Structure 1
Amino acid sequence: MYYSNEKERTSELDLPVSIETKKLPHATSKVKVYYPVVVHLQNTNAQSTINHAIVTTLNEILVELGFHDANLLELIASYELKTNQRGILSLNLIVYSFTGGAHGMTIVKSLTFDTKTGKQYELKDLFKKGSDYEKKLSDIISQRIKDWNIELLEPFKGIRSDQDFYIADTSLVIYFQLYEITPYVWGFPYFPIPILDLADIINPDGPLNRMMAFT
């Protein structure tokens, strides 16, 4: 493809957004909190919206895991970037805390954004309206559970409409929290699903369709 100028070429490529790592002020030896901040976006409103969502979600997790608990022995927060291209940012916030007992507790929460508008995607936004995406995803995961001999706490009944997810390369990854469907020893059950397997129900205006170019 021919590009008349550098600006046109860069726009077409949808280069990754810039991310800086911030550390929570006043951290102690037992509390270390690192989180991502989007910087240098041309759309400053989108940048503010994304960063506000990240900090709000992180704060909710910190409170849930005992950030203010007098018995807190250790708390570590970090993040992972899963997708940062074609105007899509998908990331995981990971928080571990230990307040005593046999083991600590970890929560992973994923956020997926349109970096041009700041829109945060819910699972339903990835699929065509009226499509039975919950059933399709549940059927795929149910088969994986059988194929991988995953031990369950109770029979699998399907995903929630707002099930945790992130986008990684050419896959949609559906996952479950600790104890949500499996015993603690199984950790976080992750189910990567190739985007091509969902092509018939993908929202043409959603993030999965943008990633189809890489399949």
Structure 2
Amino acid sequence: MNYGFRLLFVLFFLSGCKQEAVIEFTSSYFSEEELELCNNEPCSQVSIEYQVAKGDESIAAAINEKIEWYIIASLFLGDDDAPSAKTIHAAATEFILAYRDHQPDLPSNLDLGGYDAEVNIYHAFQNESIVSLEMYAYLFTGGAHGYGATSFLLFDLKTGEGMEARSLFTDLAGFAAYAERKFKEEHEITEDASINSTGFWFEDDQFYLPDTMGFSEDKFVLLFNPYEIASYAAGAIRLEIPIEEITPYLDTEFL
């Protein structure tokens, strides 16, 4: 093998290594059936499908810690400001015991047979710089219906640190104005009409970006959860904008 060929081989190998993802994700699942306290008596239902980061040890650990915290917080029913559980197993146990504590006080016609918790975390988008996880959590603890909400977790793949979607933009005001135009088009609101003219609940009748934003496949998603700008019956209000349309407003470091 001559020197020139060896050099080309090394460059090709290094180029291939550089393109490999530092972090990969696999799916994992947890349910109440894994808990010993559910072996001999009925339990509230707990269904959790989530992502586990693998690869660089420190980066993966940072990402997995935040994923686990989100799941624990989603199952929390206590009166304290923050859950005391440190693991998914412990959080699910506390959720089930909460129903058992409340059940004796329920009238027989309102006894639900158990609470219900569902958490799903999907791998929605990843490039060389960031990963976007879309998360849905639903709890039913009595009443006419439960409540479900979607959120996004964004991570810097160089560090494993969480990121705010707003921090990805170099021109956030310009993006907000563009998003308002897209929102009005989506909901057939004329350009000169107020944002609430068709029944939305935007505060002060002014469009604003939602707290829930993130990437999903080739789209950037803006999502208003139930009750944020419309009734529960309206469900989540989701606006998807192709990524190529928002690149003028984004920090190119993350593209």
1:126-141 alignment runs, 5 A limit: 126-128=168-170, 131-141=173-183
Unaligned runs of 5+ in 1: 211-215
Taking the aligned partners of 2:126 and 2:245, their CA distance within structure 1 comes to 22
Would you say the 8 A contact 1:151–1:182 is kept in 2?
Answer: no
Aligned in 2, Cα 1:186/1:163: closer, same or farther, shift over 3 Å? same
Which of 146, 150, 157 is 2:206 aligned to?
Answer: 157
- Residue 17 (structure 1) aligns with: 24
Match of 2:68 among 26, 30, 55: 55
Does the Cα contact within 8 Å between 2:25 and 2:123 map onto a contact in 1?
no
Distance (whole Å) between structure 1 residues aligned to residue 251 and residue 227 of structure 2: 31
How many Å separate the matches in 2 of 1:107 and 1:98? 12
The equivalences for 1:49-128 within 5 A come to 49-63=62-76, 67=95, 68=98, 70=102, 73-128=115-170
Q: Kindly indicate whether the alpha-carbon contact (under 8 Å) linking 1:22 and 1:37 is maintained by their aligned counterparts in 2.
A: no
Note closer, same or farther for the CA distance 1:36–1:199 as it changes in structure 2 (3 Å cut): closer
What is the alpha-carbon distance in structure 2 between the residues aligned to residue 131 and residue 151 of structure 1? 24
Q: TM-score, normalised by structure 2?
A: 0.67
Structure 2 portions without partners, runs of 5+: 1-7, 79-93, 104-113, 190-196
Query: How many residue pairs were aligned?
Result: 203
Structure 1 residue 191, shift from structure 2 partner: 0.4
The alpha-carbon deviation at position 7 of structure 1 amounts to 4.5
2:187 corresponds to which letter in structure 1? I
Structure 1 residues 15, 45: closer, same or farther in 2, change over 3 A?
closer
Structure 1 pair 157–116 and aligned structure 2 pair: CA distance change class (3 A): same
- For residues 110-149 of structure 1, give each alpha carbon's deviation from its aligned partner in whole angstroms, at most 9, with x where no partner exists: 11112232132212212116754333323332332335xx
Cα distance, 1:169 vs structure 2: 2.4
Distance 1:186 1:99 in 2: 21
Instruction: State the shift of 1:190 in Å.
Output: 1.0
Relative to structure 1, is the Cα distance of residues 131 and 23 closer, same or farther in structure 2, using a 3 angstrom cutoff?
same
Point out the more displaced range, 52-61 or 15-24: 15-24
2:47 to 32, 35, 39: 32
Cα distance between partner residues in 1 of 2:75 and 2:206:
29
**Cα deviation 1:20-72 (Å, max 9, x = unaligned):** 41426527452222322212x12x22111111111122222222699445365
Structure (1 or 2) with the greater helix fraction: 2
Residue matched to 2:90: none
* Pick aligned residue for 1:186 from 230, 234, 248: 234
Let me know the Cα RMSD of the aligned residues: 3.2
Contact 2:121 2:136 in 1 (8 A): yes
- Distance in structure 1 (CA, Å) of the matches to 2:188 and 2:77: 32
CA 1:113 to 1:180, structure 2 compared with 1: closer, same or farther past 3 Å? same
User: Counterpart of 2:192?
Assistant: none
Contact preservation (8 Å) 2:48, 2:118: yes
